[in-house]
Amino acid sequence: MNDLRPRRLDDCIWEIPAAGDRPVPVRIYADRELLDGMDAKVFEQAANVTRLPGIVAACHAMPDAHWGYGFPIGGVAAFDPDRGGVISAGGVGFDIACGVRTLVTDLTPERIAGQRERLADELFHSIPAGLGSTGHLHLDGKAMEAMLAGGARWAVERGYGSEDDLARIEENGCMAGARPQAVSRRARERQRDEMGTLGSGNHYLEVQQVDAIHDPAAAAAYGLQEGGILVSIHCGSRGLGHQIGTEFLKRMVLAAGQYGIRLPDRELACAPLDSPLGQEYLGAMRAGINCAMANRQILTELTRRAFSRVFPGAQLRLLYDVSHNTCKEETHRVDGRPRRLFVHRKGATRAFGPGHPELPEALRPAGQPVLIGGSMGTASFILRGCGESESLAFSSACHGAGRAMSRRAATRSWRGRQVVDELAARGILIRSPSLRGVAEEAPGAYKDVAAVVEVAHRAGLARKVARVRPLICIKG
Amino acid sequence: MDQAHWEHFQHQADVGVRGIGTSMAEAFEQAALALTAVVTDPRRVQPRQAVELDCRAPDPELLLVDWLNGLIYEMATRRLLFSRFRVDLRGETLQGTAWGEPLDPRRHRPAVEVKGATYTELAVRQRDDGCWVAQCVVDV
Nearest partner of A201 among A414, A394, A16, A475, judged by Cα: A475
- CB-based contact A242 B122, cutoff 8 Å: no
pLDDT at A446 over 60: yes
CA distances from residue A210 to A207, A323, A382, A384 in whole angstroms, order as listed: 10, 22, 10, 15
pLDDT at B1 over 70: no
pLDDT one-digit tens code per residue, A343-363: 999 999 999 999 999 999 999
pLDDT at B133 over 50: yes
What pLDDT shows up at residue A402?
A: 82
User: Is residue A66 annotated as a catalytic residue, yes or no?
Assistant: no
List of E strands, A237-336: 270-272, 316-323, 325-334
Residues of A in contact with B12 (CB under 8 A): 39, 41, 66-67, 403, 405-406
- pLDDT category at B100 given cuts 50, 70, 90 is very high
Nearest partner of A216 among A465, A467, A476, judged by Cα: A465
Interface test with B, best of A96, A200, A246, A440 (most B CBs within 10 A): A246
Tell me the CATH class for A2-404+446-475.
alpha beta
- CB-based contact B65 A250, cutoff 8 Å: yes
pLDDT at B19 over 50: yes
Q: Which of A66, A203, A332, A399 is catalytic?
A: A399
* Helix pair angle (A276-310, A141-157), 10° resolution: 50
ipTM: 0.92
- Of the CA atoms within 13 Å of residue A332, those in its CB half-sphere come to 28
Non-local CB neighbours of A263 within 8 Å, separated by 6+ positions: A253, A256, A269, A270
Domain boundaries, chain A: 2-404+446-475
CA atoms of A442 and A420, how far apart (whole Å): 9
Interface test with A, best of B61, B115, B136 (most A CBs within 10 A): B115
At A150 the three-state DSSP class reads helix
pLDDT one-digit tens code per residue, A252-296: 999 999 999 999 999 999 999 999 999 999 999 999 999 999 999
CA atoms of A147 and A150, how far apart (whole Å): 5
Task: Assign 3-class secondary structure to chain B.
Answer: CCCCEEEEEECCCCEEEEEEECCHHHHHHHHHHHHHHHHCCHHHCCCCEEEEEEEECCCHHHHHHHHHHHHHHHHHHHCEEEEEEEEEEECCEEEEEEEEEECCHHHHCCCCCCCEECCCCCEEEECCCCCEEEEEEEEC
For every residue of A38-85, DSSP letters joined together read: S-HHHHHHHHHHTTSTTEEEEEEEEEEEEEEESEEEEEEEEE-GGGT-
- pLDDT category at A1 given cuts 50, 70, 90 is very low
CB A62 within 8 A of CB A347: yes
CA atoms of A64 and A37, how far apart (whole Å): 10
In order of their start, the domains of chain B are: 5-139 (3.55.10.10)
pLDDT at B12 over 50: yes
What pLDDT shows up at residue B13?
A: 73
